[in-house]
Amino acid sequence: MNIYIIPRVIYIILRIIYIILRIIYIILRIIYIILRVIYLILRVIYLILRVIYIILRVIYIILRVICIILRVIYISLLIICILLQIIYINLLNTYILLRIIYISLLCIYSILLSVRTQSNDCFVFIDAFFKLEPFKPKLRLYHFALRSQLYLKALQTNFAKLQRLNAQPR
């Protein structure tokens, strides 16, 4: 009877080892499947993030293009503004030049029709015009506005002198 027990015990031990190994295999297989599912979930998350990155990159490029378009519009508006200022300044200078010519032509009809007085009138006018030019940038006034202010000051000063003369006893 002893002869049959030993193979039987060995068989049972081997069978237990086989079952334990089979359980370990099933546990490892379950762990592998769980890891595979986690890998697939992470892969899907990576692909979603990649799509989001591409969408954000496209939005960034669109915004850059819009920014460049706005800069081009800004620069073109600046150029238009500068051109309009140049046109305005040229028109203003043309107006001043025409005004000088007009007043010079008016000198022909001066009260004393001698050549000497007419040339003096023209010289005084042109001299006064060019003496007022340096004050234009400082006071930010145009020639005729500056001239009208000087005219008002001169009238006030002359009126004050006249009042002082009237106040003196005779």
pLDDT at 56 over 90: yes
Q: What is the pLDDT of residues 115-141, one digit of tens each?
A: 555 555 556 666 666 666 666 666 666
CA distances in angstroms from 18 to 11, 12, 28, listed in the order given: 10, 10, 15
The pLDDT of residue 51: 96
Q: Identify the H or E element spanning 109.
A: none
Q: What is the pLDDT of residues 151-163, one digit of tens each?
A: 788 788 888 888 8
Non-local (6+) Cβ contacts of 143 within 8 A are 96, 129, 132, 133, 136
pLDDT at 14 over 60: yes
The pLDDT of residue 165: 81
Total-model pTM: 0.41
Provide the pLDDT confidence category of residue 36 given band limits of 50, 70 and 90: very high
Q: What is the pLDDT of residues 74-114, one digit of tens each?
A: 888 888 877 777 777 766 666 666 666 666 555 555 555 55
Average predicted confidence (pLDDT) for the chain: 78
The pLDDT of residue 77: 82
Q: Which residue has the higher pLDDT, 41 or 118?
A: 41
Q: What is the pLDDT of residues 16-26, one digit of tens each?
A: 999 999 999 99
